[in-house]
Structure 1
Amino acid sequence: MKRTFFLTFVLLCGLLLSVGALAQGEAFGPVRSAIRNSSSRELAQFFAPNVELSFDGDKQSYSATQAEFVMKDFFAKHSPASFDFIHYGGSNDGTPYAVGKYTGKDGAYRMFVKMKQADGGPKIATIDFTKE
Protein backbone atom coordinates (compact mmCIF):
# COMPACT_ATOMS: atom_id res chain seq x y z
CA MET A 1 0.00 0.00 0.00
CA LYS A 2 2.77 2.44 0.94
CA ARG A 3 4.69 1.55 -2.20
CA THR A 4 1.63 2.19 -4.42
CA PHE A 5 1.03 5.53 -2.73
CA PHE A 6 4.69 6.49 -3.16
CA LEU A 7 4.71 5.56 -6.88
CA THR A 8 1.48 7.46 -7.45
CA PHE A 9 2.93 10.50 -5.67
CA VAL A 10 6.14 10.39 -7.74
CA LEU A 11 4.21 10.06 -11.01
CA LEU A 12 1.90 12.93 -10.08
CA CYS A 13 4.85 15.18 -9.19
CA GLY A 14 6.55 14.32 -12.48
CA LEU A 15 3.40 15.10 -14.41
CA LEU A 16 2.97 18.47 -12.69
CA LEU A 17 6.59 19.41 -13.34
CA SER A 18 6.35 18.50 -17.03
CA VAL A 19 3.10 20.49 -17.43
CA GLY A 20 4.79 23.51 -15.82
CA ALA A 21 7.75 23.24 -18.18
CA LEU A 22 5.44 22.97 -21.20
CA ALA A 23 3.47 26.03 -20.08
CA GLN A 24 6.68 28.04 -19.74
CA GLY A 25 7.86 26.80 -23.13
CA GLU A 26 4.60 27.90 -24.74
CA ALA A 27 5.09 31.45 -23.45
CA PHE A 28 8.43 31.56 -25.26
CA GLY A 29 7.22 29.98 -28.53
CA PRO A 30 6.46 33.26 -30.36
CA VAL A 31 9.71 34.75 -29.01
CA ARG A 32 11.66 31.79 -30.42
CA SER A 33 9.97 32.27 -33.80
CA ALA A 34 10.78 36.00 -33.89
CA ILE A 35 14.44 35.34 -33.08
CA ARG A 36 14.73 32.55 -35.66
CA ASN A 37 13.29 34.93 -38.25
CA SER A 38 15.62 37.72 -37.03
CA SER A 39 12.55 39.94 -36.84
CA SER A 40 13.10 42.76 -34.38
CA ARG A 41 9.60 44.07 -35.14
CA GLU A 42 8.01 40.73 -34.28
CA LEU A 43 10.18 40.40 -31.16
CA ALA A 44 9.32 43.93 -30.00
CA GLN A 45 5.66 42.92 -29.67
CA PHE A 46 6.73 40.96 -26.58
CA PHE A 47 8.84 43.71 -24.97
CA ALA A 48 7.95 45.22 -21.60
CA PRO A 49 7.87 49.05 -21.58
CA ASN A 50 11.54 49.00 -20.47
CA VAL A 51 13.93 46.27 -21.61
CA GLU A 52 17.43 45.53 -20.40
CA LEU A 53 19.71 44.34 -23.21
CA SER A 54 23.15 42.95 -22.53
CA PHE A 55 25.82 42.01 -25.05
CA ASP A 56 28.87 40.31 -23.49
CA GLY A 57 28.28 42.03 -20.16
CA ASP A 58 27.57 45.51 -21.54
CA LYS A 59 24.09 46.12 -20.05
CA GLN A 60 21.83 48.99 -20.97
CA SER A 61 18.18 49.73 -20.35
CA TYR A 62 16.03 50.83 -23.29
CA SER A 63 12.46 51.72 -24.01
CA ALA A 64 10.64 49.08 -26.06
CA THR A 65 11.04 51.19 -29.22
CA GLN A 66 14.77 51.72 -28.67
CA ALA A 67 15.26 48.03 -27.87
CA GLU A 68 13.62 47.13 -31.18
CA PHE A 69 16.24 49.17 -33.07
CA VAL A 70 19.10 47.72 -31.01
CA MET A 71 17.90 44.19 -31.79
CA LYS A 72 17.47 45.11 -35.47
CA ASP A 73 21.10 46.20 -35.54
CA PHE A 74 22.22 43.03 -33.73
CA PHE A 75 20.31 40.79 -36.15
CA ALA A 76 21.80 42.68 -39.12
CA LYS A 77 25.34 42.13 -37.82
CA HIS A 78 24.81 38.62 -36.43
CA SER A 79 22.02 37.02 -38.44
CA PRO A 80 21.01 33.69 -36.92
CA ALA A 81 22.07 30.46 -38.57
CA SER A 82 20.21 28.59 -35.84
CA PHE A 83 18.48 29.28 -32.57
CA ASP A 84 16.62 27.30 -29.96
CA PHE A 85 15.81 27.50 -26.29
CA ILE A 86 17.48 24.68 -24.37
CA HIS A 87 16.13 25.32 -20.87
CA TYR A 88 13.00 26.89 -19.38
CA GLY A 89 12.55 27.82 -15.76
CA GLY A 90 11.00 30.15 -13.28
CA SER A 91 12.28 32.04 -10.27
CA ASN A 92 10.85 31.59 -6.79
CA ASP A 93 8.42 34.45 -7.43
CA GLY A 94 7.20 32.82 -10.66
CA THR A 95 9.17 34.95 -13.15
CA PRO A 96 9.65 32.82 -16.29
CA TYR A 97 13.01 32.67 -18.03
CA ALA A 98 14.62 30.70 -20.81
CA VAL A 99 18.19 29.94 -21.83
CA GLY A 100 18.98 29.42 -25.47
CA LYS A 101 21.78 28.91 -27.95
CA TYR A 102 21.99 31.49 -30.72
CA THR A 103 24.39 30.69 -33.56
CA GLY A 104 25.18 33.65 -35.78
CA LYS A 105 27.51 34.03 -38.73
CA ASP A 106 30.32 35.18 -36.41
CA GLY A 107 29.93 32.54 -33.68
CA ALA A 108 27.69 31.14 -30.99
CA TYR A 109 26.04 32.99 -28.11
CA ARG A 110 24.38 31.84 -24.92
CA MET A 111 21.12 33.76 -24.70
CA PHE A 112 19.12 34.42 -21.54
CA VAL A 113 15.57 35.83 -21.76
CA LYS A 114 13.59 36.83 -18.67
CA MET A 115 9.96 37.89 -18.70
CA LYS A 116 7.85 39.85 -16.23
CA GLN A 117 4.15 40.59 -15.94
CA ALA A 118 3.30 43.84 -17.73
CA ASP A 119 0.29 45.05 -19.71
CA GLY A 120 -1.78 42.04 -18.70
CA GLY A 121 0.64 39.30 -19.69
CA PRO A 122 4.25 38.13 -19.70
CA LYS A 123 6.60 40.54 -21.48
CA ILE A 124 10.35 40.41 -22.11
CA ALA A 125 12.23 42.36 -19.44
CA THR A 126 15.78 41.14 -20.12
CA ILE A 127 17.74 39.71 -23.03
CA ASP A 128 21.37 38.79 -22.43
CA PHE A 129 23.77 37.58 -25.14
CA THR A 130 27.10 36.10 -24.05
CA LYS A 131 29.56 34.95 -26.71
CA GLU A 132 30.72 31.39 -26.18
Structure 2
Amino acid sequence: MVRSLFLLIISLSSLYSPNAYQADIIDDLSSYFRSGNAKEVAKNFASTIELIIVDEEDVYSKAQGEQILKDFFTKHPPVKASIFHKINTNPNYRFGVISLTTSKENFRVSVTMKKFNNNFQITELRIEAAKD
Protein backbone atom coordinates (compact mmCIF):
# COMPACT_ATOMS: atom_id res chain seq x y z
CA MET A 1 0.00 0.00 0.00
CA VAL A 2 2.74 2.45 0.98
CA ARG A 3 4.71 1.58 -2.14
CA SER A 4 1.64 2.16 -4.35
CA LEU A 5 1.01 5.52 -2.71
CA PHE A 6 4.65 6.48 -3.12
CA LEU A 7 4.58 5.58 -6.85
CA LEU A 8 1.37 7.57 -7.30
CA ILE A 9 2.91 10.65 -5.67
CA ILE A 10 6.05 10.35 -7.79
CA SER A 11 4.08 9.97 -11.02
CA LEU A 12 1.83 12.93 -10.21
CA SER A 13 4.75 15.13 -9.21
CA SER A 14 6.34 14.55 -12.62
CA LEU A 15 3.26 16.17 -14.18
CA TYR A 16 3.91 19.35 -12.23
CA SER A 17 6.63 21.40 -13.85
CA PRO A 18 8.12 24.31 -11.92
CA ASN A 19 8.89 25.90 -15.29
CA ALA A 20 5.22 25.94 -16.29
CA TYR A 21 4.66 29.20 -14.44
CA GLN A 22 7.91 30.66 -15.72
CA ALA A 23 6.96 29.81 -19.29
CA ASP A 24 4.10 32.30 -18.96
CA ILE A 25 6.29 35.17 -17.79
CA ILE A 26 6.10 36.78 -21.25
CA ASP A 27 2.30 36.66 -21.01
CA ASP A 28 2.45 38.32 -17.60
CA LEU A 29 4.81 41.02 -18.87
CA SER A 30 2.50 41.73 -21.79
CA SER A 31 -0.39 42.39 -19.40
CA TYR A 32 1.83 44.64 -17.23
CA PHE A 33 2.82 46.65 -20.30
CA ARG A 34 -0.83 46.87 -21.37
CA SER A 35 -1.73 48.38 -18.00
CA GLY A 36 1.42 50.53 -17.79
CA ASN A 37 2.43 48.87 -14.53
CA ALA A 38 6.14 49.69 -14.14
CA LYS A 39 6.21 48.29 -10.61
CA GLU A 40 5.12 44.79 -11.70
CA VAL A 41 7.51 44.80 -14.67
CA ALA A 42 10.36 45.89 -12.39
CA LYS A 43 9.69 43.00 -9.99
CA ASN A 44 11.16 40.85 -12.75
CA PHE A 45 14.28 42.99 -13.26
CA ALA A 46 17.70 41.57 -12.41
CA SER A 47 19.71 43.59 -9.88
CA THR A 48 21.11 45.58 -12.81
CA ILE A 49 19.31 45.96 -16.11
CA GLU A 50 20.31 47.24 -19.50
CA LEU A 51 17.58 49.64 -20.62
CA ILE A 52 17.34 50.89 -24.16
CA ILE A 53 14.37 53.23 -24.43
CA VAL A 54 14.00 54.95 -27.80
CA ASP A 55 17.47 56.56 -28.17
CA GLU A 56 18.75 56.31 -24.59
CA GLU A 57 20.79 53.34 -23.44
CA ASP A 58 22.49 52.56 -20.15
CA VAL A 59 22.77 50.02 -17.33
CA TYR A 60 20.66 50.85 -14.28
CA SER A 61 19.85 49.43 -10.88
CA LYS A 62 16.48 47.75 -10.42
CA ALA A 63 15.03 50.86 -8.70
CA GLN A 64 16.37 53.26 -11.34
CA GLY A 65 15.02 51.03 -14.10
CA GLU A 66 11.57 51.04 -12.52
CA GLN A 67 11.55 54.86 -12.35
CA ILE A 68 12.67 55.22 -15.97
CA LEU A 69 9.97 52.78 -17.11
CA LYS A 70 7.39 54.64 -15.01
CA ASP A 71 8.42 57.90 -16.73
CA PHE A 72 8.06 56.21 -20.12
CA PHE A 73 4.52 55.08 -19.27
CA THR A 74 3.66 58.61 -18.09
CA LYS A 75 4.82 60.09 -21.41
CA HIS A 76 3.33 57.26 -23.48
CA PRO A 77 0.16 55.91 -21.82
CA PRO A 78 -0.39 52.32 -23.05
CA VAL A 79 -3.54 51.45 -24.93
CA LYS A 80 -2.83 47.89 -26.06
CA ALA A 81 -0.09 45.26 -25.82
CA SER A 82 0.19 41.91 -27.51
CA ILE A 83 2.86 39.27 -27.80
CA PHE A 84 4.51 39.33 -31.19
CA HIS A 85 7.10 36.61 -30.59
CA LYS A 86 8.46 34.53 -27.73
CA ILE A 87 11.18 31.97 -27.17
CA ASN A 88 10.60 29.80 -24.13
CA THR A 89 12.21 26.49 -25.09
CA ASN A 90 15.58 27.06 -23.39
CA PRO A 91 15.53 26.16 -19.67
CA ASN A 92 17.83 29.09 -18.77
CA TYR A 93 16.77 31.81 -21.20
CA ARG A 94 13.58 33.58 -22.28
CA PHE A 95 13.04 36.17 -24.97
CA GLY A 96 9.90 37.97 -25.98
CA VAL A 97 8.78 40.73 -28.29
CA ILE A 98 5.69 42.69 -27.31
CA SER A 99 3.89 45.04 -29.64
CA LEU A 100 2.91 48.07 -27.55
CA THR A 101 0.38 50.64 -28.73
CA THR A 102 0.33 53.88 -26.78
CA SER A 103 -1.80 56.99 -27.09
CA LYS A 104 1.01 58.66 -29.06
CA GLU A 105 2.74 55.95 -31.11
CA ASN A 106 3.53 52.26 -31.48
CA PHE A 107 6.54 50.55 -29.95
CA ARG A 108 8.34 47.25 -30.16
CA VAL A 109 9.39 45.97 -26.73
CA SER A 110 12.11 43.30 -26.61
CA VAL A 111 12.66 41.50 -23.32
CA THR A 112 15.68 39.29 -22.60
CA MET A 113 15.62 37.15 -19.47
CA LYS A 114 18.08 34.80 -17.84
CA LYS A 115 17.51 32.32 -15.05
CA PHE A 116 18.92 33.22 -11.64
CA ASN A 117 18.11 31.04 -8.60
CA ASN A 118 15.27 29.23 -10.44
CA ASN A 119 13.58 32.50 -11.49
CA PHE A 120 13.76 34.34 -14.77
CA GLN A 121 14.89 37.94 -14.44
CA ILE A 122 14.96 40.63 -17.08
CA THR A 123 18.54 41.51 -17.98
CA GLU A 124 17.73 43.68 -21.00
CA LEU A 125 14.64 45.70 -21.90
CA ARG A 126 14.52 47.46 -25.25
CA ILE A 127 11.70 49.81 -26.25
CA GLU A 128 11.97 51.19 -29.77
CA ALA A 129 9.64 52.78 -32.27
CA ALA A 130 7.73 50.17 -34.23
CA LYS A 131 8.62 49.87 -37.87
CA ASP A 132 5.41 49.73 -39.82
TM-score bracket for this pair, using the shorter chain length: 0.7 to 0.9
2:54 match: 56
1:82 match: 80
> Which amino acid is 1:27 matched to?
I
Query: Is the Cα–Cα contact under 8 Å of residues 25 and 88 in structure 1 kept in the other structure?
Result: no
1:19-38 alignment runs, 5 A limit: 26-38=24-36
Q: 2: CA distance between counterparts of 1:91 and 1:128? A: 21
Query: Is the Cα–Cα contact under 8 Å of residues 49 and 123 in structure 2 kept in the other structure?
Result: yes
- The sequence identity of aligned pairs, in percent, is 26
> Which amino acid is 2:59 matched to?
S
> Which amino acid is 1:76 matched to?
T
2:4 match: none
Query: Is the Cα–Cα contact under 8 Å of residues 97 and 108 in structure 2 kept in the other structure?
Result: yes
Of 112-121 and 87-96, more deviation after overlay is shown by: 87-96
1:131 match: 129
Q: 2: CA distance between counterparts of 1:63 and 1:91? A: 28
> Which amino acid is 2:78 matched to?
P
Q: Would you say how many aligned residue pairs link Structure 1 and Structure 2?
A: 111
> Which amino acid is 1:82 matched to?
K
TM-score (ref. length: structure 1) = 0.74
Instruction: Give 5+ residue unaligned stretches, structure 1.
Output: 1-21
TM-score (ref. length: structure 2) = 0.74
Q: 2: CA distance between counterparts of 1:24 and 1:89? A: 12
